[in-house]
């Protein structure tokens, strides 16, 4: 499998090189040269196939010969060491819970898969070639998932940038308390500022010896494995005779982009809904045809506080840059914090289900689409455990959320971080790191 840059000014490369480089030399995102649909008989028989086998069949064409079959099967099995339950919330409405992993966020899948791929690629790396530095920006859950996934991986250092005051206390603890090969930088700015610093570092030739790569969803090994749980959700549906709609709370749009890729592989999804908070760059694009990134705004669904979603260019490519073809399979709606809090309360009152702010935005997007397109089965993604937004959930619902063991493990640990406010400070930090 070859990958090409969506900026089309770099040479094609392998899965291995795309993972290690993260971003193409021309600053473009890597994209697979071909996408081959899976055997329809395989899709039809999903409910009789194990999750690791489904994941292996979905990902193998994108990895190609860069990882042997036995090793790739091991990587997939280790990645998927937890459950992905589909919970009924109301008639024909389900929540796909993606928070049963080690950091209680959907990003555990991509981070664990990428860490294991990079660990495999580093096995035969010469010591004098230096360590690989994973440089990642986070608006919330990415940092914790990457920190957990890469903790102790041989030959890999991890540097995480996060916006000061714009992640929850638990999210911050998950990325600042692990130590070892994980270091955290608190940035005076927004997530977009963090992301811009990361992209600038990739293009800075003076940092070449640091062997930089990214663990954001711009990296193909973080992005593509997110296909898995769309297959897992469909597998669990008891009645598949109705059209299936997936609604995905969306910030950097990597998750929904992976879902659309699952659709390209043959998963029978009728429509995708990207639900956003007030950071509405994509909903506005679908309304007026003009893509106009804007500074991100802080909300209670902070992991979606992204004003310039990197992965939307991949979604456009999946539809051959045809906005009408995109609109036929893809919708996007924006919702306020007030709407989010109100629907969290309504869901709890009606069903007893506790949704976090991100899942609640996904639910809102699903309901809005179904109002105009009734008679379908809807699945919204619950991307993080409610405990990660403890104050918001408890204040909104008037309930006490039990603290899971994964979270209790970091609550009393000391936060170790360094504050920066400019790219020059990031560069100096990287150059001074051993």
Q: CB count, 10 Å around CB of 258?
A: 26
102, 134, 187, 274, 309 from 195: Cα distances, Å: 24, 13, 11, 21, 10
CB 65 within 8 A of CB 36: no
**Whether residue 355 has pLDDT greater than 90:** yes
Comparison of pLDDT for 210 and 422, the residue scoring more: 422
- Grouping H, G, I as helix, E, B as strand and the rest as coil, residue 384 is strand
**Whether residue 15 has pLDDT greater than 80:** yes
CA dist 214 and 204 (Å) reads: 14
- Phi, psi of 196, deg, nearest 5: -65, -40
Close Cβ partners of 266 (under 8 Å, ≥ 6 residues apart): 37, 38, 40, 43
Per-residue pLDDT tens digits for 366-417:
999 999 999 999 999 999 999 989 999 999 999 998 888 888 888 889 999 9
Per-residue pLDDT tens digits for 150-190:
998 888 899 999 999 988 888 899 999 999 999 999 999 99
CB 244 within 8 A of CB 93: no
Mean pLDDT of 285-290: 95
**Whether residue 303 has pLDDT greater than 70:** yes
H/E element, 406 = helix 405-411
CA dist 318 and 313 (Å) reads: 9
pLDDT of residue 130: 67
> C-alpha dihedral over 344, 305, 115, 406, to 10 degrees?
-40
CA dist 298 and 305 (Å) reads: 6
Q: How many residues does the chain have?
A: 434
pLDDT band at 128 (very low <50, low <70, confident <90, very high): very low
**Whether residue 207 has pLDDT greater than 50:** yes
284, 359, 405 from 399: Cα distances, Å: 36, 17, 19
Catalytic: 107?
yes
Least confident among 112-116, 140-144, 150-154: 140-144
CA dist 179 and 121 (Å) reads: 23
Taking all residues of the chain, what is their mean pLDDT, rounded to a whole number? 93
**Whether residue 140 has pLDDT greater than 80:** no
Instruction: Kindly name the residue from 44, 60, 107, 417 that is annotated as catalytic.
Output: 107
Mean pLDDT of 123-145: 77
Mean pLDDT of 337-350: 98
What are the beta bridge partners of residue 132?
156
pTM: 0.91
pLDDT of residue 215: 84
pLDDT of residue 202: 86
pLDDT band at 301 (very low <50, low <70, confident <90, very high): very high
Mean pLDDT of 86-100: 96
Close Cβ partners of 314 (under 8 Å, ≥ 6 residues apart): 6, 29, 31, 223, 253, 257
Percent of the chain with pLDDT over 90: 78
What are the beta bridge partners of residue 244?
377
Mean pLDDT of 220-224: 96
Please write down the long-range contacts of 262-266, taking CB distance under 8 Å and 24 or more positions apart: 262/58, 262/227, 262/230, 262/231, 263/230, 263/329, 264/35, 264/37, 264/318, 265/35, 265/36, 265/37, 265/38, 265/58, 265/227, 266/37, 266/38, 266/40, 266/43
CB 244 within 8 A of CB 74: no
**Whether residue 434 has pLDDT greater than 80:** no
**Whether residue 267 has pLDDT greater than 80:** yes
Mean pLDDT of 206-219: 86
Comparison of pLDDT for 281 and 155, the residue scoring more: 281
Q: Which residue has the tokens 């994973």?
A: 134
């Amino acid at each position: 499998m070859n990958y090409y840059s969506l900026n089309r000014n770099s040479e094609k490369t392998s899965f291995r090189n795309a993972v290690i480089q993260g971003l193409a030399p021309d600053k473009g995102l890597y994209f697979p040269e071909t996408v081959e649909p899976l055997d329809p008989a395989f899709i039809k028989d999903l409910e009789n196939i194990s999750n690791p086998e489904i994941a292996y069949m979905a990902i193998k064409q994108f990895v190609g010969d860069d990882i042997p079959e036995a090793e790739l099967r091991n990587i997939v099995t280790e990645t998927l060491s937890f459950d992905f339950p589909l919970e009924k919330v109301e008639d024909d409405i389900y929540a796909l819970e993606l928070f049963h992993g080690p950091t209680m966020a959907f990003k555990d899948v991509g981070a664990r898969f990428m860490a294991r791929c990079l660990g495999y690629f580093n096995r035969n790396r010469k010591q004098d070639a230096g360590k690989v530095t994973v440089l990642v920006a986070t608006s919330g859950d990415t940092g914790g998932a990457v920190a957990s996934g890469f903790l102790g991986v041989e030959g890999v250092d991890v540097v995480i940038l996060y916006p000061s005051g714009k992640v929850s206390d638990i999210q911050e603890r998950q990325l600042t308390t692990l130590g070892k090969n994980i270091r955290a930088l608190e940035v005076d700015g927004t997530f977009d500022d963090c992301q811009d610093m990361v992209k600038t570092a990739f293009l800075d030739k003076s940092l070449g010896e640091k062997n930089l790569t990214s663990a954001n969803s711009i990296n193909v090994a973080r992005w593509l494995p997110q296909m898995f749980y769309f297959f897992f959700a469909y597998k669990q549906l008891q009645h598949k005779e109705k059209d299936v709609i997936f609604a995905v709370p969306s910030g950097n749009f990597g998750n929904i982009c992976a879902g659309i890729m699952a659709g390209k592989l043959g998963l029978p999804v009728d429509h995708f809904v990207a639900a956003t908070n007030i950071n509405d760059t994509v909903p506005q694009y679908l309304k007026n045809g003009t893509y106009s990134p804007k500074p991100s705004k802080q909300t209670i669904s902070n992991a979606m506080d992204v004003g310039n979603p990197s992965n939307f260019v991949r979604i456009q490519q999946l539809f051959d840059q045809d906005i009408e073809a995109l609109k036929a399979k893809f919708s996007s709606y924006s919702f306020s914090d007030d709407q989010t809090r109100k629907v969290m309360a309504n869901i709890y009152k009606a069903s007893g289900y506790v949704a976090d702010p991100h899942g609640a935005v996904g639910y809102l997007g699903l309901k809005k689409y179904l109002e105009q397109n009734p008679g379908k089965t809807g699945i919204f993604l619950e991307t993080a455990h409610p405990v990660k937004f403890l104050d918001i959930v408890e204040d909104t619902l008037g309930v006490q959320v039990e603290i899971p063991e994964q979270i209790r493990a970091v609550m009393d640990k000391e936060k170790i971080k360094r504050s920066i406010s400019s790219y020059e400070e990031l560069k100096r930090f990287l150059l001074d790191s051993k």
